[in-house]
Structure 1
Amino acid sequence: MTDSKMKSQSLQKWFSVLLLIALIVVLGVLSTRFSAAVDWTAGNRNTLTEASQAQLASMDGPIIVRAFVYSGDPLRREVEQDFGRYQRAKPDVELRFVDPSTQPQLVREFNIRQPGQIVLEYDGRRETIPGTTEPMVTTALQRLAVSGEQWVVFLTGHGERSISRAEDSLAMTAYANALRERGLKVQTVNLTETPAIPDNTSVLVLASPERAYLPGEIELVRDYVAGGGNLLWLADPDHPTGLAEVAAELGVTWLDGYAIFPNYQVIGTGHPGFFAATQYPSNPVTQGFDQITLFPLVRAMAVDPVNDWAMQPLLVASDAAWLETGDITSGTVALDDDDIPGPLLIGATLTRDVEVEGKNITQRVALIGDADFLSDLHLTELGNQGFGLNLAQWLALRDAQLNIQVPAAPDTEIVISPWGGKALVVGFVIVLPLLLLLVGVGRWFLRRRR
């Protein structure tokens, strides 16, 4: 091989090495300026959900995030990653780190109790949260998004559903807590003890009273509705609804009886009196809502709007259903001449324009022939909680908050049966060490034979 050829090959090798180094440098520079991520988790739980993106889109203006984390703490990296998802969806989300050891004045100003707390600030309002999970952050943003206090008032004293008895599975304790998490204030009022509905009531809830209201209490509820107040009326079929004067003002007639759904075995509800809503009529409460909801033992209603009310169906049972007016405890039911055939109106909304204190507002009422679906026993089934939250948000005139509910990730836990756990223990503690021992003995034996 001539010297010229050797020099040419040497130059080619050095040129290839230089090209490789240049390529590595370019890739390194690009990696600092651009990034790409692929989410392989079930349910894409490392990607910002549509609910969180919708929440961010509803908030005009910057959001400031202050993370009170010590310098050098690995938690800072986690906070950057978690809020990086929010920054990609809304560029004016600003993340600021505060070292509690060097800025004690900010610790006092923001009332920080322990390192790692996060303070979200929007439009002059603040929320402090202990972590950075998406449900925690997005629900805090929901609370920040609405200015002022909005009260959801539950009437009590007549056998209505409780919102404070955690041991009662038919209570609405979890529902009340979910409302609080979304920034709504919740309280109860017994009109016998306090004969007045608070002036700051945004939504009044009649949670299926079991006993009749006194005439003075009925008049208070009538005055509230006549004055433009928003109302959520839940009426189980087990008890008379009462408040006939209020129903007349709304143009609603509650029908006595239990709705029966003969196709319950096909749907899989397990009971002919359970109503599974899989489709919804056009209604602002369920616009964009695509979850199935389950209503145990429902009654129907008839609405003939009066007093300028406009009605929109919310829950409608199919033609196959009927309202059983007879006894359902016998075990067998059938459609007869005394029953009311389907389709049945199970839920409806009413709206009208009214003038309150010189302002034109839209008054809203929601009527549901069931209260069990919001009880602690059934709230977490299918889309019940989302539907119940939509009702309250719509009645409180918080339309931008509809359908914003971050779903729980389906792959955060590994469930192993007792036998599976024992198999893992045997495999890793006994079988795997024995296999390694056998491999070692086998290699030693083969070497001995050589």
Structure 2
Amino acid sequence: MTDTAHRSMSRWFEAAGFHLLLLTAAALLGWLSHQYNLAWDWSDSARNSLHPASRALIARLDAPLRITSFAPENPVLRGQILEVLERYRRLQPLIEIDFVNPAMEPTRTRELGIQVAGELHLSYQGRSENLRVIDEQSISNTIQRLLLRTERWIVGIQGHGERRLDGQANHDLGSLGAELTRKGYRVRELPLGTQGDLPANTGVLVIASPQRDYLAGELRAIERHIEGGGSLLWLLEPDQGPHPAQLLELLGITPLPGTVVDPNAADLGLDNPAIAIVNAYPDHPAVEHFRLVTLYPQAAALSLQPTASWQARALLTTLPRTWNETGPLKGRVARDPQQGELAGPLVLGYSLERRIHDKTQRVIVLGDGDFLSNTYIGNGGNLDLGINLLRWLSGDEGLLDIPSRVANDLLLQLSDTQGAIIGLGFLLILPVALFTAGGLVWWRRGRA
């Protein structure tokens, strides 16, 4: 065999070996992709992956969660739905996904109340809920609602000028009530005068800034709720409305006279000194990892008279330079110690706990209701704080919030100069460079 034939045969074997190895590697990669389901998300803010809060939420599942999509035989629609749901199933094998063609099972579709194509039906341990908006925020919140094992009501007392949890007026708490409902809580308003006692499934009783005194029978019903170990959120107001002495004595809380004045508000561009600022929180489960600034308009400071039964902790504390102003909030105001005006930091809220009837009872008393009103709840972290407090009172602090994430990398913003440079590069410089490289290759081959 000549040298030329030997080299030709060697090159043939090398090429055949290379292609054989390439095919083997491709087959091996295909087999590995079926055996191991791995994914990487390089998008901005990892929007194509589950938020850590969603991951922690589905980790709490201890029984199969069945998700049924009622979608027609449309590959595009089903593919889009499956893409979202697979993010959950990849991390939690207890999640089962199924597709049903509504046209093939009209009876089942009608019985479950399915109304739109692609609507989801989630069922978990005998509880179920339909979902039309298919994104992480909505799906995780639905799972969160299904995880609430018992229907515990958040009950707001009505009939004495209180802020309503379903009200739309500026002073009402309708935005808070709507968010609680969205997160799976049952929010009810109750005219206490028509009830002998609060419903047995009252999870948290809310007393939201009443403007008129409670009747003796109504006070006894509230006392029975507290003495029976029920949770309570009590929103007080400065020098406004009734502050039932027997309830305050039972809890060991006393409102200080006047309204909290906070000169630090000017540092945030606020021109109202009667807005108190809280930007630091204690090591308490209700505000664990909470780092948002919260604002409290027209708030009352509170003092504590410790009792033997309650374990009380300051929950909300103002910044230094604050005081409780007892005079008119007009013109220049300054602290007058002779009028009982105390220098801050002042306490705006206390949490109280005790063991009673073989369970832990939780109470929160705050010196302000405006911060949760429809007018102010969007300021700073007011809404998030309100949700956290009610979660703690309900014993559901283990349930996590799933914030929506903004996709910041969907839009490429370029200046005119940057656009011109890119356009010049693609339209002129790159073609010239390719033409030059091709010419050099041709010239070198011609010389060889």
Aligned to 1:408: 404
| Alignment deviations for residues 74-103 of structure 1 (CA, whole Å, 9 cap, x no partner) | 222222221222223322111122222333
Residue correspondence of structure 1 range 98-117 to structure 2 within 5 A: 98-117=100-119
Alpha carbons of structure 1 residues 40 and 291: separation in structure 2 relative to 1, 3 Å: farther
Alpha carbons of structure 1 residues 222 and 137: separation in structure 2 relative to 1, 3 Å: same
Matched position secondary structure for 2:75: coil
Aligned to 1:138: 140
TM-align CA RMSD: 3.2
Distance 1:52 1:215 in 2: 47
Matched position secondary structure for 2:314: strand
- Specify which of 359, 366, 381 is matched with residue 368 of structure 1: 366
For the pair 1:90 / 2:88, whether they are aligned, the reply is no
Alpha carbons of structure 1 residues 328 and 141: separation in structure 2 relative to 1, 3 Å: same
8 Å contact from structure 1 (residues 234, 370) kept in 2: yes
- Specify which of 375, 381, 388 is matched with residue 377 of structure 1: 375
Identify the range of structure 1 (109-118 vs 36-45) with the bigger mean alpha-carbon deviation.
36-45
Alpha carbons of structure 1 residues 12 and 73: separation in structure 2 relative to 1, 3 Å: closer
Distance 2:43 2:294 in 1: 27
Matched position secondary structure for 1:89: coil
Aligned to 2:445: none
Matched position secondary structure for 2:90: helix
Aligned to 1:148: 150
| Alignment deviations for residues 137-157 of structure 1 (CA, whole Å, 9 cap, x no partner) | 111112111222211111122
User: Which amino acid is 2:372 matched to?
Assistant: L
Identify the range of structure 1 (15-24 vs 247-256) with the bigger mean alpha-carbon deviation.
15-24
Q: Post-superposition shift, 1:206?
A: 0.8
- Specify which of 384, 387, 412 is matched with residue 386 of structure 1: 384
8 Å contact from structure 1 (residues 292, 383) kept in 2: yes
Aligned to 1:118: 120
Alpha carbons of structure 1 residues 328 and 130: separation in structure 2 relative to 1, 3 Å: same
Aligned to 1:160: 162
Identify the range of structure 1 (181-190 vs 407-416) with the bigger mean alpha-carbon deviation.
407-416
Q: Post-superposition shift, 1:393?
A: 1.8
8 Å contact from structure 1 (residues 276, 294) kept in 2: yes
Q: Post-superposition shift, 1:32?
A: 4.4
Aligned to 2:353: 351
Aligned to 1:18: 20
Distance 1:288 1:392 in 2: 16
Identify the range of structure 1 (216-225 vs 114-123) with the bigger mean alpha-carbon deviation.
216-225
Residue correspondence of structure 1 range 205-224 to structure 2 within 5 A: 205-224=206-225
Distance 2:46 2:332 in 1: 45
Aligned to 1:442: none
8 Å contact from structure 1 (residues 251, 306) kept in 2: yes
| Alignment deviations for residues 63-84 of structure 1 (CA, whole Å, 9 cap, x no partner) | 1111112233322222222122
Matched position secondary structure for 2:141: helix
8 Å contact from structure 2 (residues 166, 178) kept in 1: no
Q: Post-superposition shift, 1:236?
A: 2.4
Give the share of equivalent positions with the same residue, in percent.
Answer: 32
Alpha carbons of structure 1 residues 57 and 257: separation in structure 2 relative to 1, 3 Å: farther
Q: What TM-score results when the alignment is normalised by the length of structure 2?
A: 0.84
Matched position secondary structure for 1:97: strand
Point out where structure 1 has 5 or more consecutive residues left out of the alignment.
Answer: 440-450
| Alignment deviations for residues 204-260 of structure 1 (CA, whole Å, 9 cap, x no partner) | 111111222233322332232222221100112261442121111111101122222
